[in-house]
Structure 1
Amino acid sequence: MIVRIMGEGQWRLADDKLDQLNAVDTDLEKAVSAGDEAGFKTSFAALLEFVRAGDKLPDDELHDSDAILPPGDSTLGEMRELISGDGLIAG
């Protein structure tokens, strides 16, 4: 699976990481839905950290992304507009 973080690049995550990625995304979705600023910051940082632990793809290699995450400086309000009932990661 390839995940893009806007403004940073793309990372390849092993397919067996999808369940863990979805769990972190679920925590983020819950915090955003509850309007929990502290929970949002913690869970969004955890999601970005999880993705960044994958294999960074060279900037000159472009691949279709399976998921696109907003930049790390996104606010709770901005995230509220982006998240559907399934969070940021589909699946």
Structure 2
Amino acid sequence: MTADAVGCDAAQARAEILHRWYDGRLREWRWDLEAVRNMPVLGRMVPFLAEFLLRLPKETCTALGWAACMGPVFRMDELAAASGEPSGKTERLLSKAAELC
């Protein structure tokens, strides 16, 4: 399904579509904004992302929502403060999303 949507294996599709990584040294999520801007529009991107999000625990989706509000680069301690959760818990929640990518 997911692989059919983008024409390649699922792991490669996630890496190509999400263009993001967690910088453990800086404890920040990073996005390759230029790569995102240059991505072709895929008609099946919404179903692909919905499938991805549905596999995550509700708390992780909430943490991702806070992260999305913070923008393409943020510090984990700032995200934790914004969400009202301890930094360690916030990091664990986001790591669940990273494990699926």
TM-score by length of 2: 0.34
The structure whose residues are more often strand, as a share, is 1
TM-score by length of 1: 0.36
Larger radius of gyration: 2
The answer to which structure, 1 or 2, has the higher relative contact order (CA under 8 A, 6+ apart) is 1
The structure whose residues are more often helix, as a share, is 2
